[in-house]
Structure 1
Amino acid sequence: MELWLEKLKSLRLLYAEDEEGIRKPMANTLSYYLKEVLEARNGEEGLDMYYEQRPDIILTDLRMPKKDGLYMVKEIRKNDKTTPILMITAHTDKEYLLSAIELKIEKYLIKPIALDELLGGLKLCVNEIELGRSIFLECKNCQFDLKNKRIIHTDGSEVELTHKESDFLELLLRKKGMVVSYEEIEMNVWKEEYMSIAALRTLVKSLRKKTSE
């Protein structure tokens, strides 16, 4: 068994979905991979369960009665910026998702969800949790101090990173072993700004210099 799957076995997941015919089979599948699966029928119930149970991972459908998944995630993100969240959407929800860009969603899963896509999303969540548990991440000749956003070299010298440098390095570490798209970099590092190829190359050059000094 892969290491990330072993780690997943120790985690608890909150799954919010209003359609019982979808929720029950999915929850049964998820229970094979996780320590516990908590089921919620809507965003309101899911939010109550989140506060009571504090799950490690959240999987939620976007459109639900009473309070939808977007409302639930927005409420959670007011005070919790770290719990990994996977959001289930339909192709027609693209415009509706524009307001979710800043909510730090690990992955959007498009219906109908294939098992390999679901597992890929859960792997991202495990990586995110492991990253958050680490204060220092090892680079080749240095350490990345996540909390203080700085590089610490083996000789004890420290180099401060800019916001874009630290966001870019953290993104690469979160996606370690995976392909990071141009769009992901623009969204997570440049956010609402336009990112040019020249600006990205300059950022990479600066970061390489700081990590190799």
Structure 2
Amino acid sequence: MSDALNKLTILIVEDENDTRKLMHEILKDEFHAVITAQNGDEGLKKFKKYNPDIVISDIAMPIVDGLDMTAQIKQISPNTPVVAISAHSEKEKLLRAIDVSVDKYILKPVDMDELLGVLEIIAKTKIEATNITELAKGYSFNKTKRVLIKDGKEIALTKKELAFITLLIKRLGTVVLHDDIKNVVWIGESVSEAAIRTFVKRIRDKVGPDFIKNAPGLGYKIDVDL
């Protein structure tokens, strides 16, 4: 298992069952978690739910194609790397892949050794290189260790509190909706919005009152500049 990959979660979006199962079987031994989806619509929903570190997507898929899904993912999380795979190399598709900020384009049939090499490079250059997110006013976040730091000191957070902070930092400057927060922080659990408000208040007591911004009736965000 690669040290660059074993702490990461990857989302595979592929409508061909055999290809999807093969990729899952190989990548499950390399990644911390592997999530799969059968089309772009399901892929976008699972991206919002699981907040993966890397996305692999076929281009030609029913309901929502891979490039339309990528465009929406990049709006939510511009820094999340997306690898597009396709049986076609037409100039139009390549140009569109560039337009939606695909990070790498691989032709089918996929050579799994080549894919693993690409994923390791992406993990090292695009994820490890941005390991520390500098926020503002003395705050920073270590993505690998998943630690929030203020004025050089780590802030002790529970598992749920850390999941919440990690989600907001991955979508820095963007309002994260209540439903997305519930799906990531309270997977499979029922939680009221009143309970979420109490939860956020407890975090603010630890990190400072101005770190987490409230968007009334919608959700929460962390601004780029505090």
Q: Where do 1:1-213 residues align within 5 Å?
A: 5-127=2-124, 128-134=126-132
Local SS of the residue matching 2:62: coil
Is the 2:11–2:36 contact (alpha carbons within 8 Å) kept by the matching residues of 1?
yes
Is the 1:17–1:41 contact (alpha carbons within 8 Å) kept by the matching residues of 2?
yes
TM-score, structure 1 as length reference: 0.59
TM-score, structure 2 as length reference: 0.55
What percent identity do the matched residue pairs reach? 39
**CA 1:48–1:135 in structure 2 vs 1: closer, same or farther (change >3 Å)?**
closer
The Cα shift of 1:33 comes to 0.7
The Cα shift of 1:123 comes to 1.4
Please name the residue that 2:147 is paired with.
none
Residues 157-176 of structure 1 show CA distances to partners (whole Å, capped at 9, x for unaligned) of: xxxxxxxxxxxxxxxxxxxx
Is the 1:106–1:124 contact (alpha carbons within 8 Å) kept by the matching residues of 2?
no
Unaligned runs of 5+ in 1: 137-213
Q: Output the aligned Cα RMSD.
A: 1.7
Which of the pair is proportionally richer in helix?
1
Is the 2:71–2:101 contact (alpha carbons within 8 Å) kept by the matching residues of 1?
no
Unaligned runs of 5+ in 2: 135-226
Local SS of the residue matching 2:95: helix
State the alpha-carbon separation in 2 of the partners of residues 129 and 28 from structure 1. Answer: 23
Residues 149-195 of structure 1 show CA distances to partners (whole Å, capped at 9, x for unaligned) of: xxxxxxxxxxxxxxxxxxxxxxxxxxxxxxxxxxxxxxxxxxxxxxx
Alignment coverage as a number of residue pairs = 133
State the alpha-carbon separation in 2 of the partners of residues 94 and 108 from structure 1. Answer: 12
State the alpha-carbon separation in 2 of the partners of residues 65 and 135 from structure 1. Answer: 36
The Cα shift of 1:135 comes to 5.5
